[in-house]
Amino acid sequence: MINWNNMDTLEAFKELKETKKVNLREVMSGENGAKRASEYSVAMGGGLKYNYAAKAVDEDIIEVLKKFANEAQLVEKFEALYNGEVVNTGEKRLVLHQLTRGQLGQDVIADGVNKRDFYVGEQKKIADFANKVHSGEITNAKGEKFTTVVQIGIGGSDLGPRAIYIALENWAKKNNTFKMEAKFISNVDPDDASAVLKSIDVEKSLFILVSKSGTTLETLTNESFVKDALKNAGVDPAKHMVAVTSETSPLAKSDDYLAAFFMDDYIGGRYSSSSAVGGAVLSLAFGPEVFASFLKGAAEEDILAKNTDLLENPALLDALIGVYERNVLGYSDTAVLPYSQALSRFPAHLQQLDMESNGKSVNRFGGEINYQTGPVIFGEPGTNGQHSFYQLLHQGTTIVPLQFIAFRNSQIGQDVDIQGSTSQQKLCANVAAQIVAFACGKDDEDSNKSFAGGRPSSIIIGDDLNPESIGALLAHFENKVMFQGFAWNVNSFDQEGVQLGKVLAKNVLAHNTDGALKVYSDLLNI
Amino acid sequence: MINWNNMDTLEAFKELKETKKVNLREVMSGENGAKRASEYSVAMGGGLKYNYAAKAVDEDIIEVLKKFANEAQLVEKFEALYNGEVVNTGEKRLVLHQLTRGQLGQDVIADGVNKRDFYVGEQKKIADFANKVHSGEITNAKGEKFTTVVQIGIGGSDLGPRAIYIALENWAKKNNTFKMEAKFISNVDPDDASAVLKSIDVEKSLFILVSKSGTTLETLTNESFVKDALKNAGVDPAKHMVAVTSETSPLAKSDDYLAAFFMDDYIGGRYSSSSAVGGAVLSLAFGPEVFASFLKGAAEEDILAKNTDLLENPALLDALIGVYERNVLGYSDTAVLPYSQALSRFPAHLQQLDMESNGKSVNRFGGEINYQTGPVIFGEPGTNGQHSFYQLLHQGTTIVPLQFIAFRNSQIGQDVDIQGSTSQQKLCANVAAQIVAFACGKDDEDSNKSFAGGRPSSIIIGDDLNPESIGALLAHFENKVMFQGFAWNVNSFDQEGVQLGKVLAKNVLAHNTDGALKVYSDLLNI
């Protein structure tokens, strides 16, 4: 029997608030710091490790977090989710994105089909299609191979797939699995589609229209934009376009598309990178085997999320440390800082994943909650960020918990040795240095040069950024956000907060406005 | 006589805390909302307007902000700055970036020269060089025209120039002033330089090495990276590289560069876009006339910042509303939300500008301060953000003040009419809708679909994103951040918080580590 109770009803939460705080600067100094850095580490999927030595926790706090996890039934709630209970209460839907990468529990039958079979079937359809495009069996009207794939989608149909594409582009080129360049059109700003279309040869481009409902304003508008461009180039749009949508959408059976690949209502946009939404573009760009490796890395991480032992469940541990920081220590932001240029857009994906999932003010039943929920997420790659906003992180009046990510090896492998070290070593030296600088600080006679320290961080470390490790990274954060949603007792799978703006925008376009809305419409010449 | 006192000593600040709060939802509704939207607007440079109707202020609060501005002598402090006082107290330097775009006060003589003449002289040198590159007078060794310019720099040598390049790229192509493609190498991650070098024809590329001191680790490392690539291509690096640096740096008189353009210690990196740091790359990419227009827009905004009347000084007004939100209403973040794909990296520039300037915990003399300073800045373009993190902005437990930016016209001018409106109209309709949705909210029987409203925003509106308007935007935020630094009595022009990480990274590379730092170094295989 699962109890969905608000967090402040938990005995363990009350105990957590009363547990002695950790002086991070103290515990991370000297031999004790070395001991923590060695021991406070949990294995993740994809060959990664989650190290939390520089978080303001200790064994006493971890003990209480274990009680919290048990009392809040966090792993049982995950079990209910992957076994097909209606966990998305607001929209009365199952939540099945993990099923795209593996069968975690019992068979899930919905809409009369086994959903694992359904997702695997779509993966096979996509793989078959991608192989035919790569082999030249599917070509443009002139019989020429497609050289470019363009994803038309917004939000989850854009951010995750784009971040993963950028993460793997150089890896794929290096490993001879790069098949086609991918581009992305998302914004309703006409300059977005115009600029992308100017940068490609439309005659050799394949477009993927991604919209679950088939009704997303931006995406349908950009589809028309692209179809105009294709027609102007003398090309039949139906021969250059595939759809990723739900089987019930108007796009599903349309003759306007070369093929249609399906997702369903049980996978939210921000959780859809491992569904056909990511599958089509990534399989076309890098080949289906690369996408399969990505799923494998994600599956490894999902299996770890089933562990009831907090110290063998990295997503759960990361989640609960985050809850401690948000609700006991009172920190309201989290910075995601990958020391990898290839992860330049990964923070933007996590920003959506986290803020859209847990930026809620009512509980999963619409009832009141009396505590803070999801934090603000932002970030840029290191070392770039060091020369930008790190000043505030080190010496500002707001403490921001930090999530570092780093890899021992570069992707391309070209490097220079300057002053006795390679660029890759310099990159890694910087992230090591930052962890300690943030945690331990440094006193100085000149208070302007003093660092208070006590600024918590964790780091995820791997050998290489490759399909498996990016899969594991993606799933780790999906599962972390899910566990935090369970802890806060919110529904992490709906997004009612985006609706009001859509309704008002329609009113503006219909000139159905008054008051301030009319004035702003006039100011903007609508 | 100027008094540099902490903010909490000001009578006006005490009064501000006690002034009746505004119920934003109430005042923005109905006819009163229309009145505010029409009237709460201030002219900016570059043809822009700053509209603050949806901020939680009213005439009473504005009156107190006027007193605050006077008591804190904010405009006098700006006057001291542009007349050449040592406002950067920590580093004992003048602060002269405004002088690159106009003479705001008396002649400033430093290092024995008239600094306005010096900056204009460098602009002329750059214009002359760029014109020769464009005309083919300066070519590669084979006598071929350079087609690409690559900026090598990090932090302020990267973020501002890159954001402005992206902002104007499509505009320049549309207006036939596009001369050369620009690329940027910033990160010490070797994959950054490798990927850029793979994407260009190095034989036809001109590289700009940007480092004021000539000692920035990342930039010198990337210079070596590029020189290796040039040598491997059989090209003499000295014929493909120019330097932007200070006259006293080791790069200034080196034979390794085709030319050197100078900045000086009176312009901080994050304020350097209007100096040679932005001037060289933007003049090469778009022509010197475009860069001159950019400076003109910035100069217009600077002149407005001299106004003692708060309601004729948009940067000062924006600054003080921000202080009110930070220190009276207690908000700790600000989201920058441009409804323009071309401004996709402008939030990243503002993130550095603001967080590196005002993320400080001691006052300008190193003394204690007992209030919050600079907020966390983040943002992405609309409408993309609407499908991402806006859920938290609308319904999360944290209130985040918002800065919208929108233009009536697109840059490229290609558009489609779908369901009775163009994409550009849809884009503008969305931003108008969001302002009202955030301010006024909406009740619903289903609490999950309720919007509390009361979430403040301002909007900057213009006809077009062009050189003058981006210049004005840049200067507006520079001046806003400066005024906030004056209000908080911090030094907005140093960045001691970035030093500790640099020192520790050097220790790691020298294997001079112990404790946690040694463990992390080992974990990362350094």
pLDDT digits (tens, 9 = 90+) for B506-521: 999 999 999 999 999 9
Question: Is the CB of B430 less than 8 angstroms away from the CB of A505?
Answer: yes
Q: Is A502 in the active site?
A: yes
Domain B7-96+295-495, CATH number (from 3.40.50.1220, 3.20.20.120, 3.30.450.90, 3.40.50.10490): 3.40.50.10490
Would you say B468 and B294 are in contact if contact means Cβ atoms under 8 Å apart? yes
B6 touches chain A (CB under 8 A): no
Q: Which residues of B touch A396 (CB under 8 A)?
A: 355, 359-361, 373-374, 497
- Average pLDDT, integer, range A476-489: 98
Question: How many CA atoms lie less than 13 Å away from B50 in the CB half-sphere?
Answer: 26
Question: Is the CB of A384 less than 8 angstroms away from the CB of B154?
Answer: yes
Give the tokens for residue B266: 């009176």
Separation between Cα atoms, residue B94 and residue A420, nearest integer Å = 37
CATH architecture, range B99-289 = 3-Layer(aba) Sandwich (3.40)
What pLDDT is attached to residue B468? 98
Q: Give percent of chain B above pLDDT 90.
A: 96
Q: Helix (H, G, I), strand (E, B), or coil: what is residue A405?
A: strand
From the list B449, B502, B521, the residue facing A499 with the nearest CB is: B449
pLDDT tens per residue across span B377-418: 999 999 999 999 999 999 999 999 999 999 999 999 999 999
Q: Which residues of A touch B156 (CB under 8 A)?
A: 387
Q: Is A11 in the active site?
A: no
B447 touches chain A (CB under 8 A): yes
Question: Is the CB of A356 less than 8 angstroms away from the CB of B90?
Answer: no
Please identify every residue of B annotated as catalytic: 356, 387, 502
What pLDDT is attached to residue B399? 98
From the list A90, A225, A518, the residue facing B34 with the nearest CB is: A518
A8 touches chain B (CB under 8 A): no
Of A224, A387, A496, which to mutate for an interface test with B (greatest number of B Cβ within 10 Å)? A387
Shortest Cα distance from A456 to chain B (angstroms)?
14
What pLDDT is attached to residue B217? 85
Under the banding of pLDDT at 50, 70 and 90, the label for residue B188 is: very high
Question: Is the CB of A188 less than 8 angstroms away from the CB of B423?
Answer: yes
**Count of CB pairs separated by less than 8 Å, A with B:** 505
Separation between Cα atoms, residue A387 and residue B166, nearest integer Å = 20
- Average pLDDT, integer, range A325-351: 98
Q: Which residues of B touch A508 (CB under 8 A)?
A: 429, 432-433
What pLDDT is attached to residue A253? 85
What pLDDT is attached to residue A321? 98
Question: Is the CB of A170 less than 8 angstroms away from the CB of B187?
Answer: no
- Please return the burial class of B18, using the count of CB atoms within 10 Å of its CB with bins 0-12, 13-18 and 19+: exposed
Q: Which residues of B touch A381 (CB under 8 A)?
A: 187, 189
pLDDT tens per residue across span A293-316: 999 999 999 999 999 999 999 999
B380 touches chain A (CB under 8 A): yes
What is the β-pairing status of strands A148-152 and A181-185?
A: parallel
pLDDT tens per residue across span A161-189: 999 999 999 999 999 999 999 999 999 99
The identity of residue B441, as a single letter, is G
Separation between Cα atoms, residue B366 and residue B364, nearest integer Å = 6
From the list B173, B341, B390, the residue facing A187 with the nearest CB is: B341
Q: In chain A, count of helices (H) and strands (E)?
A: 18, 15
Question: Is the CB of B436 less than 8 angstroms away from the CB of A155?
Answer: no
Question: Is the CB of A426 less than 8 angstroms away from the CB of B505?
Answer: yes
What pLDDT is attached to residue B22? 98
The continuous run of DSSP H or E covering A294 comes out as helix A288-304
Those of residues 35-74 in A touching chain B at CB distance below 8 A are 36-38, 49, 51, 53-54
From the list B30, B333, B431, the residue facing A376 with the nearest CB is: B333
B136 touches chain A (CB under 8 A): no
What pLDDT is attached to residue B204? 98
Q: In what order do the strands lie in the sheet with B148-152?
A: B181-185, B148-152, B205-210, B241-246, B259-263
**Is residue A1 over pLDDT 90?**
no
Question: Does domain A116-294 match CATH 3.40.50.10490?
Answer: yes
Q: Give percent of chain A above pLDDT 70.
A: 100
Q: Which residues of B touch A190 (CB under 8 A)?
A: 410, 412, 414-416, 422-424, 427
Give the tokens for residue B178: 């596009």
Of B188, B481, B518, which to mutate for an interface test with A (greatest number of A Cβ within 10 Å)? B188
Q: Where in chain A is the domain with CATH 3.40.50.10490?
A: 116-294
Question: Is the CB of A425 less than 8 angstroms away from the CB of B526?
Answer: yes
What pLDDT is attached to residue A90? 85
Count CB-CB contacts under 10 A for residue B228: 16
Cα nearest neighbour of A374 on chain B: B396
Under the banding of pLDDT at 50, 70 and 90, the label for residue A373 is: very high
Under the banding of pLDDT at 50, 70 and 90, the label for residue B214 is: confident
Shortest Cα distance from A76 to chain B (angstroms)?
25
pLDDT tens per residue across span B296-342: 999 999 999 999 999 999 999 999 999 999 999 999 999 999 999 99
What pLDDT is attached to residue B456? 98
What pLDDT is attached to residue B213? 85
Q: Alpha-carbon dihedral of residues A12, A14, A16, A21, nearest 10 degrees?
A: -170
pLDDT tens per residue across span B18-52: 999 999 999 999 999 999 999 999 999 999 999 99
Cα nearest neighbour of A37 on chain B: B516
To the nearest whole number, what is the mean pLDDT of chain B?
A: 97
To the nearest whole number, what is the mean pLDDT of chain A?
A: 97
Shortest Cα distance from A156 to chain B (angstroms)?
8
Distances, alpha carbon B61 to alpha carbons A118, A280, B18, B65, B372, in Å = 60, 54, 10, 6, 20
Length of chain B: 526
From the list B198, B225, B446, the residue facing A366 with the nearest CB is: B446
Those of residues 393-412 in B touching chain A at CB distance below 8 A are 393-398, 400, 406, 408, 410-412
pLDDT tens per residue across span B234-292: 999 999 999 999 998 988 888 999 999 999 999 999 999 999 999 999 999 999 999 99
Angle at the Cα of B281 from the Cα atoms of B280 and B282, rounded to 5 degrees: 95
Q: Give percent of chain B above pLDDT 70.
A: 100
Q: Nearest CA to A382 among A400, A402, A365, A368?
A: A402
Q: Where in chain B is the domain with CATH 3.40.50.10490?
A: 7-96+295-495, 99-289
Residue A65, C-beta contacts closer than 8 angstroms, at least 6 positions apart:
A12, A16, A57, A310, A317, A320, A321, A324
Note the pTM of the prediction, 2 decimals. 0.98
Torsion over CA: B70, B73, B74, B76 (sign) = positive
Separation between Cα atoms, residue A91 and residue B24, nearest integer Å = 31
Question: Is the CB of A432 less than 8 angstroms away from the CB of B520?
Answer: yes
Question: Is the CB of B37 less than 8 angstroms away from the CB of A523?
Answer: yes
Q: Is A478 in the active site?
A: no
Q: Which residues of A touch B499 (CB under 8 A)?
A: 449
Residue A215, C-beta contacts closer than 8 angstroms, at least 6 positions apart:
A249, A250
Place of tokens 């020192």: B503
Q: Which residues of A touch B418 (CB under 8 A)?
A: 220-221, 224
As for the ipTM of the complex, it is 0.98
Shortest Cα distance from B14 to chain A (angstroms)?
20
Angle subtended by helix axes A30-39 and A423-440, to nearest 10: 120
Q: Which residues of B touch A431 (CB under 8 A)?
A: 520, 524
Under the banding of pLDDT at 50, 70 and 90, the label for residue A214 is: confident
A337 touches chain B (CB under 8 A): no
Cα nearest neighbour of B352 on chain A: A388
